Chains A and B, each alone.
Chain A
Amino acid sequence: MSDPRLLPREVPPTLGHQVVRAVSAGLAVLGLLAVVWALSFLLAPVTLAFLGYYVLRPLVNVLESRGLPRQAAVLVCFGGAVAVVIAVGVVVWPSLDSWLQMPVAEDGQRFERQLSDRLGAWESAGQHAYPKIQWHSLFDSLRAVLDAQRRELMETLPTMAMSVLQRSGTFLLAPIITLFLLLDGALMRQRLVSLVPNRYFETVLVLLHRVDRQIAAYLKGAASESALVAVLLSILLGMVGMPHALLFGCLYGVLNVIPLLGPVLGAGSGLLYALMDPSAPPLALLMACYAGTYVLDAGLINPLVVGKSLNLHPLALILGVSIGGAWGGILGMLASVPAIAVARAVLGTLHEYIASRRRMA
């Protein structure tokens, strides 16, 4: 049963067809970008919703694999997550409440006095140890920079808090979207894939799967690492008597997800606060806590929990974090690594597809 012409031959597209295809693809991409732009106010809640979905999905799957119906497993995990968020809120709220109730002027004066005392002590210590160095001019510059930063922070924080509160309605969408993704995510993906023409169906299916696996592997590791680091640092900060230890521990845990820059931002926020709060422990002690957490994370927690789930080049990370930060601030930086992983999965699959078509031609 040998026949030279059994398989329908693929006719190579003419130049006209190629132009029409390129223009159509360009218009489709522009249309998609326009839709994303128009719905950009939903970008943050949708990003948070997917984050919640990827963090909770493995837990839901574990419960389901132990015989619990999907809906019940989703409700247990979703309810548990909401309870954890409420519990953290209840623990952190008194700190925030007392800070918010303090008049801005009084707050500012207290911090200003403390900052001035600390810097004065350091300046006199430096002057005593190395009198030939011009410590005075050096510390004057430092005072000016820190004071400007403090004023900006004090003025912008309430505005930022108000902005977050005003957008809380939009952010409430995040858990609702997460809930429906957990319940019907697989079916939604199946429906989406069913719209793809036969010719591209398998490629799109594999592409979605690879993207899904890359994000899931990264976020599972990152969320576990974040939680472990937050707990560890909160305990250490609590032991040395740092005010709002849980708040700064959680802040460091979340920011730690940002590659390279995250630990610096997390430790910087705690140290800056300690510089201005008279009840904070000595800076050297706090620095030891942050450094100890960083070393434990880099040497033990990260290799064990995250491993080489993404195996990205450091240059790609630096560029990704810079672009994410410029585009979307802290949220952009947090989303940069999964975005690079998605881009890599998409490009890798497309490359494989094009290579296989060329091989067959």
Chain B
Amino acid sequence: MTEPEAALWKPPAPPKDHEPDALEALRAVPLFADLRPAELKKMLRIMHKRSYQAGEVIFREGEPGAGMYLIQRGAVDIIIRLPDGSERVLAQLTDRQFFGEMALLDDAPRSASAVARQPTELLGFFVPDLEGLLDRDARMASRVLWRLARLMASRTRELNEALRAQRAAPAEKR
């Protein structure tokens, strides 16, 4: 039996070759900071590994979002469309950074586009995976959700401060 034939008859098993690298990437994500090593491995089995070429669109602004991505290797540009139709790079992300996590919490369309700047490998964690985790291991899922809630609270606070600063600036000018 040739190798491809043998692979066809093998029961499905998670790929192991990228595991140490991917585990390191997972450890660096604040969202999974509360998870134990065994739980990180479980999380890795749940996540989807995707490969993108340089310039390939990961998702577009306005599309329905399904979840978040973690950059295992590579670089990603987050781009928003301005009212005049031009586009602006909002953030340039590299190894072990993540994006798209808002889609884990609501069904709203993507608020920005994501494009791979170079050949990039991503790990995806999506709403179906989160709901499945809630069904099978609610304790672990609640730890992830707790971290996600804190992350969102911190971002809202930063946004409030930025708005306050923006409002205060014209007042000082007057």
Q: Given known contacts A4-B87, A5-B87, is B136 in contact with A190 (CB within 8 Å)?
A: no
Residues of A within 8 A of B59 (CB): 202
Residue B86 contacts which of A4, A187, A212, A356 (CB distance < 8 angstroms)? A4
Total number of B residues with any Cβ neighbor in A under 8 Å = 45
Q: Which of B12, B89, B135 contacts A187 (CB 8 A)?
A: B12
Chain A residues contacting B65 (CB-CB under 8 Å) are: 202
Task: Kindly identify, within residues 118 to 134 of chain B, every residue whose CB is under 8 Å from any CB belonging to chain A.
Answer: 126-128, 131-132
Q: Which residue of B lies closest to A60 (CB)?
A: B136
The number of residue pairs between A and B whose CB atoms lie closer than 8 Å in the complex comes to 101
How far is B85's CA from A3's CA once the two chains are assembled, in angstroms?
10
Q: Is the CB of B82 within 8 A of A2?
A: yes
Stretch touching chain A among B18-26, B27-35, B48-56, B143-151: B48-56
Contact A360 B60 (CB under 8 A): yes
Most buried by B among A205, A212, A352: A205
Cβ contact within 8 Å between A202 and B132: no
B61 within 8 A of A: yes
Please tell me if B115 contacts chain A, counting CB pairs below 8 Å.
yes
Per DSSP, are chain B's interface residues mostly helix, strand or loop, or mixed? mixed
Q: Is the CB of A8 within 8 A of B57?
A: yes
Most buried by B among A58, A198, A212: A198
B50-A198 in contact (CB<8A): yes
Taking A4-B87, A6-B79 as contacts, is the C-beta distance between A187 and B126 under 8 angstroms?
no
**In the complex with contacts A198-B50, A205-B66, A352-B64, A184-B12 CB distance below 8 A:** yes
A208 CA / B128 CA spacing, docked (Å): 9
Query: Which residue in A6, A7, A201, A205 is a CB contact (below 8 Å) of B128?
Result: A205
A7 to B57: give the CA distance in the assembly, Å: 8
CB-defined contacts of A202 to chain B, threshold 8 Å: 59, 63-67, 126
